[in-house]
Amino acid sequence: MKSRLQIAGHPIHAMVVGFPIGLYNTALLCDLGYLFVSDPFWFRMAFWAILFGLVFHLMAAMTGMPDYLAVVKTQSDARRVAHSHLVFGVSLLIIQILNLAVRNGGTLPADGSIALPLVVNLIAVSVLGLQGWYGGELVYRHRVGIE
């Protein structure tokens, strides 16, 4: 199935998803950086990576929705996989909004502990991996977004 949104034959969704993936993973690396060097810069950087990741996540969702709707209508064998990809995507969006909320605008907690943001970040990256798995299933097994 050919992608519904494309530029010069290239699916836009595939172009956009790399940004939230990279930014969410960067946020986790920044949290780990803070744990090793205790420099508040890394905690603030994680906050901004998540914020920009959310912006691109919404763009990825908007560019993927036409293909999702087409799959639901036309490809019964890929329907379950597409639903799972969507559910994990929405779950990740909610988790990352929570992740942003527990970061208090990038300001370190008074006690300096980032245990809660780190745990939320680890959960988010795990869900991101699951969503990516289902996205890969759609592309490589069910040929969604390609001719």
Average pLDDT over residues 30-59: 97
Average pLDDT value for the chain: 94
Q: What structural domains and CATH numbers belong to the chain?
A: 6-141 (1.20.120)
Taking 90 as the threshold, does the pLDDT of residue 69 lie above it?
yes
What does the pLDDT look like over 97-122, one tens digit per residue? 999 999 999 999 888 899 999 999 99
At residue 10 the predicted structure's pLDDT band, cuts being 50, 70 and 90, is confident
pLDDT at 45: 98
Q: The pTM is what? A: 0.93
What is the SS3 string spanning the chain? CECCCEECCEEHHHHHCHHHHHHHHHHHHHHHHHHHHCCHHHHHHHHHHHHHHHHHHHHHHHHHHHHHHHHHHHCHHHHHHHHHHHHHHHHHHHHHHHHHHCCHHHCCCCCCCCHHHHHHHHHHHHHHHHHHHHHHHHHHHCCCECC
